[in-house]
Chains A and B, each alone.
Chain A
Amino acid sequence: GAGVSQTPSNKVTEKGKYVELRCDPISGHTALYWYRQSLGQGPEFLIYFQGTGAADDSGLPNDRFFAVRPEGSVSTLKIQRTERGDSAVYLCASSLGLSGGNQETQYFGPGTRLLVL
């Protein structure tokens, strides 16, 4: 498996529930990113990890959103008390991270389609 993988591919949940979305980056990539894409829009940045630490979480919309990457590989995006407005495609990307992620190509996974009813 050479690419970025994300699970689940689809998630339907009810308003108020908690969800976890998983991302498995390309092996050897130290930089990992989460984006969110709503219908008719381009992807919007949520958070960036360099190794285990969140280097930039300025895109997280509020404190219901949280992400971790405890061992510097797999990352989990966690959404508490989901709202209907959270419905979107959540995309994960990774890059080598050699230059801190700057001027590096980010490779995307297929995304998780989240629907909050």
Chain B
Amino acid sequence: DQQVKQNSPSLSVQEGRISILNCDYTNSMFDYFLWYKKYPAEGPTFLISISSIKDKNEDGRFTVFLNKSAKHLSLHIVPSQPGDSAVYFCAAQKQGGSEKLVFGKGTKLTVNP
């Protein structure tokens, strides 16, 4: 039973355009969400996070939106750059002291020059 789902295995966009990566979750106990970027042969690198008390968090070109009623979050990258090409993982953490992160399967983003 996959609690965090990234239904698009891959996404391709043109340089300068917006990239939108989506993530759905099923467990209403999740209250903290993170996005990680992963290059081949490297560990995941933290990008941005959002707490369930917010519906938006922005950091430079990266914005995460959270829709709690729909149990959906998305990562927007504007403008997209070729260096953004990587696998993006959505992760969630439960309230109440369970510190482990539950990850989706990832979406491979390719930004074409």
Contacts and interface: CB of A to CB of B under 8 A. Distances in A.
Contacts of A59: 100
Contact of B100 (A33, A42, A103, A105): A33
B105 A40 contact: yes
Contacts of A4: 43
Contacts of B106: 42
Interface residues of B, number: 27
Interface stretch (A12-20, A66-74, A80-88, A108-116): A108-116
> 9 shortest A-B CB distances, which residue pairs?
A42-B103, A101-B99, A108-B43, A45-B100, A103-B32, A110-B43, A108-B44, A43-B103, A42-B105
Given A102-B93, A108-B44, 18 more contacts: A6-B43, A35-B103, A42-B106, A43-B101, A43-B103, A45-B101, A55-B99, A56-B99, A59-B100, A91-B44, A95-B99, A100-B97, A102-B99, A103-B51, A106-B101, A108-B36, A110-B42, A111-B42
